[in-house]
Amino acid sequence: MATKLIYFAWVRERIGKPEEDVELPAGIETVADLLRWLKSRGEEYENALQFPDVIRVAINQEQVGHREKIAGAREIALFPPMTGG
């Protein structure tokens, strides 16, 4: 099953696209696994996810920690710390 990844702000700019559908390989269980795998997909991902600790993640539009399991996620968003208000 394909998972939709969405990127915002400088994460989007560095990866070079606002969203994509990916087939997650076996063994990608948590948000941290996902970030590690994505980072290995090319220079633009490496550039965007160089410091994974600062990346905020939302699963199905709700913010989660990096240890969260991603099984069943329809939509996973990656973005920098928010600066609204």
Partner 1 sequence: MPGAVRPTVRIEAQDFDVAAEIAGLTKGRADIGAVVTFSGLCRDEQGALSALELEHYPGMAEAEIGRIAAEAIERWPLQGLTVIHRHGRIAPGENIVLVVAASAHRHAAFEAANFLMDYLKSRAPFWKKEHHADGSEGGWVEAKEADDEAASRWTTKPAD
Instruction: Single out the residue of 42, 63, 71, 74 in contact with partner 1 (rule: CB under 8 A).
Output: 63
Q: How far is the CB of 22 from partner 1 (least distance, A)?
A: 19
Which CB, 15 or 77, lies closer to partner 1? 77
How far, in Å, CA of 46 to CA of 60, rounded? Answer: 24
Q: Is the Cβ–Cβ distance between 49 and 34 less than 8 Å?
A: no
2 lies in the site for partner 1, by CB under 8 A: no
83 lies in the site for partner 1, by CB under 8 A: yes
How far, in Å, CA of 22 to CA of 1, rounded? Answer: 9
Task: DSSP letter for 83, please.
Answer: -
72 lies in the site for partner 1, by CB under 8 A: no
From 21-29, 32-40, 42-50, 60-68, give the range in contact with partner 1 by CB under 8 A. Answer: 60-68
22-48 burial: b if 16+ Cβ within 10 Å, else e: eebeeebebbbbbbebbbeeeeebeeb
* Chain residues in the site for partner 1 (CB under 8 A): 6, 8-10, 58, 61-63, 77, 79-85
